[in-house]
Structure 1
Amino acid sequence: MIKVLRNWLYRYFSDEQAVVLAVLLILGFAAVLGLGGMLAPALIGLVLAFLMQGLVSALERLHLPHIAAVWLVFILFVGALALCLLVLVPLLWQQVSTLFKEFPRMLGEWQTLFLLLPERYPNLITNEQVVQATTMLRGEVGNFGQWVLTFSLASVPLLATIMIYLVLVPILVFFFLKDRELIGRWFRGYLPDERALISHVAAEMNRQIANYIRGKVIEIIIVGVVSYITFAALGLNYAILLAALVGLSVVVPYIGAVVVTVPVALIGLFQWGWSDQFLYLMLIYGVIQTLDGNVLVPVLFSEAVNLHPVAIICAVLLFGGLWGFWGVFFAIPLATLFKALLEAWPRREP
């Protein structure tokens, strides 16, 4: 047993650079797991700076000075943030409030519609099953209402936290953009001189994560805007809220599209019933999802490392369980980084 362990260590950790890289990875994951809550504004600022660094570099290639490019991109970022907070968030909150108030009435109409199913398909579903499902759904709505009440009573500390984030995150984004080279030189000063492996993995990580974040944000915006235009053209209620859900659903591959189909179908069913308008909605929504998966994703992520669907789902479950929404968002780039580490790790025959 000892010989097997010694041979394994010799094969994968006989290179000094491999040992340094392993220590850095362990320290990095430990810091995120242990200090992630306290460092959340810095991590969010770093993610947003990743998003905007490509635009800064593009402006610099047009011979714009670095500080001018940073200020221009930062002003655009603050303007977009203000637009979201002053226009988009109030609209979403208004639609969420309206939907919650109408939910009991919607449940009654859904039950009436679903009771038609046993008449049409008596061998597949019974009246008792429909009533049981509706009762269970009413109970879940009641639990959600209790959660909303508890959330509203505890919202004062949350509002204070949001205000702190709204101040700290833009400041951190500005300095991450402005002093990117300075911060990079400071960090590299603590690394050994021989760091070819670390540089290779860092370059691969930068390429994978930066491209993925930018591509995913572009995908969210395109899918959300197209969905809103489609829902608004069809006259669907809660178009902005549903479009936002459809846009955010692309964060989780495979699972998100399936989950968000339920509220779209239920709202359409409540509004139009089993009509041609409802069929048009589901048909066009299916076209949007098909174009997203077969056209938009290959174009935006053509440089991404190919991963098996099982690896993607496992990565979403693992990192989502560790870090919540951000873990789900970064599941694919972290999985590709892990794959790049395995391929670049030096090996020796025992």
Structure 2
Amino acid sequence: MSEQTIKDFRVRIDSLDDRVLELISERAFCAQEVARAKIASVATGEVPIFYRPEREIQVLKRMIKRNKGPLSNEEIVWLFREIMSSCLALEQPLKVAYLGSEGNFTQLAAMKYFGHAVISKPIAAIDELFCDVVAGVVKFGVVPISNSTEELVDHMLDSFFERNMVICGEVDLRIQHHLLVCGNTKTNRTTSVYSHTQSLVQCSKWLYANYPNVERVTWSSDAEAAKLAQSNEWNSASITGDMVESPYRLTSMVEKIEDLQDNFTRFLIIGSEEIPPTGDDKTSIIVSMSNRPEALYKLLVPFYEHRIDLTRIEVRLARSSKSTYMFFVDFIGHCRDSLVKDVLEQVSHEALTFKILGSYPKAVL
């Protein structure tokens, strides 16, 4: 390619950049007009709803359908998510809490779902996070619920069952672990690796193969483990994700050391308002059943008869009684759908206790 051809392309790119900027600015002005219209339309004393999760999901799915490349769907979703996040911040900054410490995977999931223009708040305890959502201190909370290599997070089930919360969305996040060190770490003399229990488990084969004699120290979170590795920087490392590198001034020594490359964690978005149907939704319920031989059969038959697709079932003993089982069930459909209503009515008749946790748009990518 000649220098003149390159120069011509650069001129064209500059012109396209100007058009892109103009269109983004026009979109932002439209978002401000929508905000003014919402404020004008609500009754005195009422609070307008600026953020509609179902609307954003519909926009992202439409962009995926229209995407002709060369950018991947993931990159297109990221770009439009950030544009919408910034436009929403012009209307009203969205406050979101996430479980754990700064730099952990839950914060990364929050950024994937809401974009970087939100006001995010780390909260260490699940009960505190739920209370902040209920009290309106934050609009939404983000919590991990399950991993593709592990079981459901048990204590989260209890929180959902005991609290009046609504699941508003979900995020599927690919989990990639890196071995991080400080600048002064003697990598050839590393004696300790700090990380969360789950991270150590998910990287156990790699550790056995590469650091069989290194002590594995479990910590409350990957981010906290990074802090500890930083303070003991001469002979220690940590296993964490991408976001931890910056706030704790760590560098990646070895990337993507997880044993399974297809390693995803599912996160739930919790709020206090029900989400309208989008046409591509999922519903979560909690059901408790007596410990009888036909209990699981009684639970599943209505879904089979109405051809409702189940996507996940988790079971555990109820804390209150060893003769009662609790089922966490995900299935395709919205609780306002007529078929789903019929199924839920049948299930509720057979259950000891029954609770709809929420209907929400399925995860985008």
Q: Which has the higher helix share?
A: 1
> Which TM bucket (shorter chain)?
under 0.3
TM-score normalized by the length of structure 2? 0.21
Q: Which has the higher strand share?
A: 2
Greater Rg by CA: 1
Structure of greater relative contact order (alpha carbons < 8 Å, 6+ residues apart)? 1
